[in-house]
């Protein structure tokens, strides 16, 4: 069996990948943060799926996971790491608490590199693969999602460097770039944005001039409405799962998997436009002026 580690397997893309690869005959190490999530996965999977308590922001947790996986796979090594764990912070950059930006990068960037560094000795043994789950926001940055977009842009850069640095070991690095996917991240992101908004308003609301509040408030209303539209038309998660499977098993994996028409449109059309025209297109798509 081909052993593979998937981080962030509690829900969404990670959970779908863990269960699909388990059905496909992989030996899956499914990274989760809570024992209850581990139990839920075991209830749906075969005995070949092994939940692993893993917090990608905790170096000791990552080390313990690497030791457990190393003892399990032995000298054969690890065939793949799917870096899926991630969060989404949305906020007006002018009033974004910097600890929230640091948290965004701790999970989406530093966590990815911490896990990859820890697993590379096992990947070298098997000439395994690294698959990083990026996003449409890794290609372009819209308003009010600057922290998330910045983290995914950083992930794209790290993936490019890793691909070049690991070529001598026969380790391929692939990036998955999904458009809007039908997963619980929409609800989680909305809850996080609402909580962050309330915290910001509580701490500095009386220091924000009314005219500034009005401009941001109108934009945020439009952003919420656009998010609801995007969620309603999100593509099924199995399309991302299929791309991950190909990246892990193909003799010639792609360096990038652009999943969804919107990602292709951004990659091949939107990014080629002059900045001002691109800004106009993005704002129109969000219902903003």
DSSP H helical ranges for 11-130: 12-23, 35-44, 59-73, 98-105, 111-126
The 10s digit of each residue's pLDDT in 113-144 is 999 999 999 999 999 999 999 999 999 999 99
Say yes or no to pLDDT of 70 above 80.
Answer: yes
Average pLDDT, stretch 154-170?
A: 98
Among all residues, which ones are annotated catalytic?
148
CATH assignment of the domain containing 162: 3.40.50.720
What pLDDT is recorded for position 235? 87
Q: What value does the mean pLDDT of the chain take?
A: 91
What pLDDT is recorded for position 200? 56
What pLDDT is recorded for position 186? 53
Q: How many domains does the chain have?
A: 1
Question: 116: domain range?
Answer: 3-285
1 band by pLDDT with thresholds 50, 70 and 90: confident
246-284 as b/e, with b when 16 or more CB fall inside 10 Å?
bbbeeeebeebbbbbebbeebbeebeeeeeeebeeebee
């Amino acid at each position: 069996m081909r052993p593979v580690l998937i981080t962030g397997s509690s829900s969404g893309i990670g959970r779908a990948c863990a269960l699909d690869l388990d059905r496909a005959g992989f030996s899956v190490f499914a990274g989760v943060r809570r024992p209850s999530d581990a139990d839920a996965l075991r209830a749906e999977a075969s005995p070949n799926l092994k939940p692993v308590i893993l917090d990608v922001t905790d170096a000791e947790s990552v080390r313990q996971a690497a030791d457990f996986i190393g003892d399990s796979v032995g000298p054969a090594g690890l065939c793949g790491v799917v870096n899926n764990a991630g969060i989404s912070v949305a906020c007006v950059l002018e009033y974004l608490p910097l600890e929230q930006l640091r948290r965004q990068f701790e999970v989406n960037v530093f966590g990815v590199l911490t896990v990859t560094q820890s697993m590379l000795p096992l990947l070298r043994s098997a000439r395994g693969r690294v698959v990083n789950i990026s996003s449409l926001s890794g290609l372009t940055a819209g308003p009010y999602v600057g922290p998330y977009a910045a983290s995914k842009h950083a992930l794209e850069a790290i993936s490019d460097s890793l691909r070049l640095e690991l070529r001598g070991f026969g380790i391929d690095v692939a990036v998955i770039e999904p458009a809007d996917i039908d997963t619980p991240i929409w609800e989680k992101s909305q809850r996080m944005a609402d909580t962050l908004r309330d915290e910001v308003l509580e701490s500095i609301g009386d220091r924000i001039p009314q005219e500034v509040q009005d401009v941001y408030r109108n934009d945020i209303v439009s952003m919420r409405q656009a998010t609801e539209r995007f969620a309603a038309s999100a593509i099924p998660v199995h399309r991302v799962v299929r791309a991950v499977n190909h990246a892990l098993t193909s003799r010639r994996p792609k360096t990038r998997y652009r999943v969804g028409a919107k990602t292709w449109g951004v990659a091949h059309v939107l990014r080629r436009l002059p900045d001002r025209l691109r800004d106009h297109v993005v704002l129109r798509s969000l219902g903003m002026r």
